[in-house]
Structure 1
C-alpha cells in the first residue's frame, strides 16, 4: 500500500484519510479534495474549510494487471474476503495514526466506491478512531445484518442512475448507517457511478458543520 501526503506538521487542522475506487489510484481522491477546498464564488467559508487541507491519500493494495489502476479487494470476491482485506488495511492505518503528531487532530475518512466500503469497515473495526466518514457510492453487499456502534458522523451519497452498485446494496448502506445515527444522506438525479458538482458542494457543507 503506497500513499501520498500533504501534512502541516505544526497544525491542528483535520487530517483526511482517502481511499480511491476500483481501477484508480490515490490521485482520484486528491482531485475530489481539491474540488471541495477550491474557493467558492461567495468565498465566505469558515477557516475549517478555507485552508489547504492536510491529507494522506492511499493507493490500493493490489495492482490491476494489464489494465492499470489498483484495487482494495478483488472484484466479485466474497464478503469474508472483502472484510479480511479491509481489516488488514485498517490495522495499518490505525497503526500509522497512533503517532503523536495525529493525537489531537480530527480524523476524516473519504472513500469512493470500494474506498467508501473500506472507509466504513475502518469505522466498524475502530469505532472511536474517526470523527467523520464521507462514503461516496459504496457497496454494502453482505452488511445487511450489520450493527454499527460508533459516534462517527457519516456522509453517504449515490447517483440516482448508479447501476454499478445494485440498488439493494445502496439501500443496505443507508439502513445500516441510519440505524447508527449521525447520518447525512444525499442522492443526485441524473448521476451514475460518479461525482457531481452538487455533491462536492454538499461535502463542503458537511465539513463546515462538523
Structure 2
C-alpha cells in the first residue's frame, strides 16, 4: 500500500514536470544542426537520457511514449529526444559505415552542450540510448567514441554486416533485445533485396567483450528482473560494464525497461 501511494505521488509530480520551451514552440529546441525535445524532472542539475527514435519515427513520438518518459522522469532523469535527419520522407540516423550525411556524434554532443546551457542538466551523467535504428546509432557511436557519453543503452539495435573489426574501449553498455524480434532478429537479416544485412547481436557482444578486455566469453553473472533475463560480464577492464537483457516479446521498448535501466546505471561506479 505504501509503495502504491508513493508511486501515485511520483506520477503526480511527473505530471508537473517541466516541458521545456525553446523559442515559440513548446518543447522543441533548435540548434544549428537539428532539433530536439526535452522534459525535465522536478530537481536541479538532473542526469540526462538521450533517446533516439527508430527508422521513420520522430522526436515527438518518443515523447508521447509516456511509459518510457514518465518512467525516467519519476527516477529524476531528464529525457531528451533528438530529431533524426529526413531522407525520402522518413527520419533516421547516419550510422551506416561510409554513409553520407550529418555528423551525428557532433550533433548529439552539441545537443548536450545546448541542454546544459539552457536547462542545467548534469553534463557528466548523460546516457545515450535509442530504439531500433536509434539502437544501431548508439552502437556505432559507442564503438567509435566510447567516452562521448557516460554510458550506452541500445534497445533492439546492434551492428550491420560486415561487423566492425574492433571497437574502442572500454565502454559501459546495456543491451536490451526481444527474444522474438523479427524486425531486428538476434541473428540479423537481409534488407534492400540483399544489399544490406543486419548483424548478429551475439557477434556484437563478442566485439564489446574485446573492447572491454573481458577475460572470457562466458557471462559470470545471471539474474532475472521481472520479464527480463539478464547476462553480465564483470571480469573486464576497470571502468567498463557490459550486460544483455532479453525479454520474451518482439520489436519494441518493453514494459519495465526504464526502471531496469536506471537501476543498472545507478549501480555503476559514478552512476
| Same fold (TM > 0.5) | yes
1:157 aligns with 2:157: no
| Number of corresponding residues | 189
1:197 aligns with 2:197: no
State the TM-score, normalized to the length of structure 2: 0.59
Look up the match of 2:71. Answer: 36
Look up the match of 1:142. Answer: 161
The structural deviation recorded for 1:7 is: 4.7
1:72 aligns with 2:93: yes
Q: Distance in 1 between matches of 2:126 and 2:94?
A: 24
- 8 A contact 1:22–1:113 mirrored in 2: yes
**Equivalent residues in 2 for 1:17-96 (5 A)?**
17-30=50-63, 31=65, 33-37=68-72, 49=75, 51=76, 53-62=77-86, 65=89, 70-73=91-94, 79-81=97-99, 84-85=100-101, 88-96=103-111
Q: Distance in 2 between matches of 1:122 and 1:11?
A: 28
Answer 1 or 2: which has greater helix percent.
Answer: 1
Q: Distance in 2 between matches of 1:120 and 1:130?
A: 12
Q: Distance in 2 between matches of 1:24 and 1:202?
A: 24
Which sections of structure 1, spanning at least 5 residues, go unmatched? 40-48
**Corresponding residue to 1:121 among 140, 153, 158:** 140
2:128 alignment partner, SS class: strand
CA-to-aligned-CA distance 1:117-157 (integer Å, 9 cap, x gap)? 11222223332121111100103113524322234311101
The structural deviation recorded for 1:38 is: 6.6
Which sections of structure 2, spanning at least 5 residues, go unmatched? 1-33, 189-198, 213-240
Name the CA shift for 1:179/1:55 in 2 (closer, same or farther; >3 Å).
same
Larger RCO, structure (CA 8 Å, separation 6 or more): 1
Name the CA shift for 1:200/1:140 in 2 (closer, same or farther; >3 Å).
same
- In our comparison, the structure showing a higher alpha carbon Rg is 2
Look up the match of 1:178. Answer: 209
Name the CA shift for 1:204/1:96 in 2 (closer, same or farther; >3 Å).
closer
Q: Distance in 1 between matches of 2:169 and 2:70?
A: 28
1:4 aligns with 2:11: no
- 8 A contact 1:107–1:129 mirrored in 2: no
- 8 A contact 2:48–2:80 mirrored in 1: yes
Answer 1 or 2: which has greater strand percent.
Answer: 2
1:197 alignment partner, SS class: coil
Look up the match of 1:97. Answer: 112
The structural deviation recorded for 1:26 is: 1.2
Q: Distance in 1 between matches of 2:122 and 2:253?
A: 31
Name the CA shift for 1:198/1:5 in 2 (closer, same or farther; >3 Å).
closer
- 8 A contact 1:20–1:26 mirrored in 2: yes
- C-alpha RMSD of the superposition: 3.0
